[in-house]
């Protein structure tokens, strides 16, 4: 579905597993278990912490869509044990956590975007995360 949607030039927003699926669909790979494969990384699986509570910071790439919306560095929630390992051809990293885990991606044409965190779970406590969905809605509106 990801490749077909991309082929017909429709925007895609992947959240958490969605970002991982995008990367694999484009030919990339995943860390199957961050803690066992990377050892001293940030604890990215924060259960039983509430979904709306930020648990670590991410850093965005200057002039990326995520940087333009939310700034250079901000706190996010984290509920995953897998993550992008080898980035697929055709995708660009736009955000990472302090331990180097990829937290945001986009396709070279900017129509396919993804984040590893869950902005939909944070919008009630942190309304600024609504900007991600507004940005995606604008991408959808610009498609013929």
The reply to whether 52 belongs to the active site is no
Identified catalytic residue from 45, 52, 81, 120: 120
β-pair partners for 76: 56
Q: Which of 56, 80, 85, 118 is catalytic?
A: 118
Among 16, 44, 80, 85, the one annotated catalytic: 16
Q: Quick check: is 9 catalytic?
A: no
Integer Cα distance of 14 and 114 in angstroms: 4
16 has catalytic annotation: yes
Catalytic residues: 16, 118, 120
């Amino acid at each position: 579905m990801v490749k077909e949607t991309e082929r017909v030039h429709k925007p895609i927003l992947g959240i958490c597993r969605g970002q991982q699926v995008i990367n694999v669909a484009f030919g990339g790979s995943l860390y199957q278990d961050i803690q066992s494969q990377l050892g001293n990384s940030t604890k990215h699986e924060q259960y039983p912490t509430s979904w709306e509570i930020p648990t670590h910071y991410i850093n965005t790439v200057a002039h990326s869509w995520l940087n333009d919306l939310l700034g250079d560095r901000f706190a996010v929630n984290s509920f995953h044990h897998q993550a992008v390992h080898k980035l697929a051809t055709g995708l660009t990293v736009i955000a990472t956590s302090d331990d180097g885990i990829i937290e945001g991606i986009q396709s070279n044409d900017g129509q396919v975007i993804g984040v590893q965190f869950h902005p939909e779970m944070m919008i009630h406590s942190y309304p600024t995360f609504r900007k991600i969905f507004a940005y995606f809605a604008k991408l959808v509106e610009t498609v013929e």
